[in-house]
Amino acid sequence: MRTIKFPKMKTALLLCAVLLLNISANAQDKEIKKVEDATTVLSDFSKMKESIPKELLSVTQGIIVVPKLINAGFVVGAKRGKGIAMVKRADGTWSNPVFVTMTGGSLGAQIGVQSVDLVLIFKHSKSLTDIKKSSFTLGGDLSIAAGPVGRNSTANTDYKLEAEVYSYSRSKGLFAGISLNGASLDIDAQANTHFYGKAASAHTIFNAPDNSITSVKELKSTLKAME
């Protein structure tokens, strides 16, 4: 019996496979850049004269970094940004990053567009691990306050640390206070799928073994050096 060959079909299938691999790689590149930007933000914060106090970092159980958060408005403000969330494990090491999205608005006398680097410090990791596939609202579900500054001093620090979340925002090399009340934080499921190659919940990613991607290693190393 004569065998019928389909060289054109094989070529087409091969091209489709290569195309899918390229799409996957390009999608992951976007997330890798976000991790690298988060590392840069943390590194820049640590070099500032008035930085996040080590006393606060020593009790920190979770962190969110949103590079280049867009804070725009004309009377009614709007915020939009993508970043990463991490929690501290029982052994003191930091988890793999979970990608998140911040959206929200506020009322006030404001005008123009401002890009800020945002760092949110969480006192309890449970605040992040419990969000799973849902979201939470800052100032609503969780109390939030402007974070104290000072490298090694507790001066001007809310020593009682009564808020659950402390915020630090930086614009053009200087601390810039912005209102985050009402802002919503959501898990970016699509970004997590692109980065890790498969769909996974925030809980799964937080508890997974250390990722070997270089950008993740550098992020964890930078965060550890700040403590």
List phi, psi (to 5°) of 209: -60, 160
Confidence of residue 6 (pLDDT cuts 50, 70, 90): very low
3-state secondary structure of 217: helix
The alpha-helical segments, DSSP class H, found in 179-213 are 189-196, 202-207
Residue 196 lies in a domain: yes
Number of domains present in the structure of the chain: 1
Confidence of residue 212 (pLDDT cuts 50, 70, 90): confident
Give the domain range for residue 124. 31-226
Determine whether 114 is exposed, middle or buried from the number of CB atoms within 10 Å of its CB (0-12, 13-18, 19+): middle
Question: Is 7 domain-assigned?
Answer: no
Let me know if residue 208 belongs to a domain.
Answer: yes
| pLDDT tens, position by position, 88-108 | 998 999 999 999 998 875 544
Of the two residues 157 and 31, the one the predictor is more confident about is: 31
Q: What share of the chain is helix, strand, coil (3-state, %, to 5)?
A: 35, 35, 35
19 found inside a domain: no
Cα–Cα distance for residue pair 181/61, rounded to 1 Å: 21
